Amino acid sequence: ENSDIQIFEFVDYNCGYCVKFHNEVSNVLSQESSLKLVIIQMPILGEMSDALSKLAIASSFQGKFIEVHNYLYSSKRKSSMEDIYADLFLMDIDLKQLKKDIESEAVAKLSSKHDNIADDFKFVGTPAIIIGNTIIPGFIKADEIFEILKKEFF
């Protein structure tokens, strides 16, 4: 958490390339413990994307963000919100509190903040990645991430 080296990832849980990138960045994180991944929600692919984005943010209030984030990118993720909530219940997430948090001003403010960050960088698609001073508007593989990390920080 106190890492000086951060990767900023702009995500949409319905983006196929984001799923692929999640696997690539997970590979990098497993090999390089000095990194911190900062997720910026960028739900651009419709209402379901927006709902999943708010769900992920709200899950962080219960300390479950990483678990939910990984689930939303997994092959186990269901297609309906009702089924997703059932899975989250099985993951020991307080659904009553989660639904309350999703509608909260705190989630609305964070969602707006994320929108503003994405707008500031003029990103129009996901994934988008920032590593140091390098901005990548699209998918890259783990070896490319390592090369950028070397160039920027080592």
**10-residue averages of pLDDT along the chain (154 residues):** 84 96 95 92 96 98 96 95 97 97 98 96 95 95 96 89
Tokens of 137: 């508007």
Beta bridge partners of 39: 9
Q: What is the pLDDT of residue 22?
A: 95
Q: What is the pLDDT of residue 127?
A: 97
Q: What is the pLDDT of residue 4?
A: 77
Q: What is the pLDDT of residue 3?
A: 72
Q: What is the pLDDT of residue 33?
A: 82
Distance between CA atoms of residues 45 and 75, nearest Å: 19
Q: What angle do CA 16, 45, 54 make, to 5 degrees?
A: 100
Q: What is the pLDDT of residue 1?
A: 57
pTM for the structure as a whole = 0.92
Q: What is the pLDDT of residue 154?
A: 81
Position 107: which residue type?
Answer: V
Q: Three-state SS string across the chain, please?
A: CCCCEEEEEEECCCCHHHHHHHHHHHHHHHHCCCEEEEEEECCCCCHHHHHHHHHHHHHHCCCCHHHHHHHHCCCCCCCCHHHHHHHHHHCCCCHHHHHHHHCCHHHHHHHHHHHHHHHHCCCCCCCEEEECCEEECCCCCHHHHHHHHHHHHC
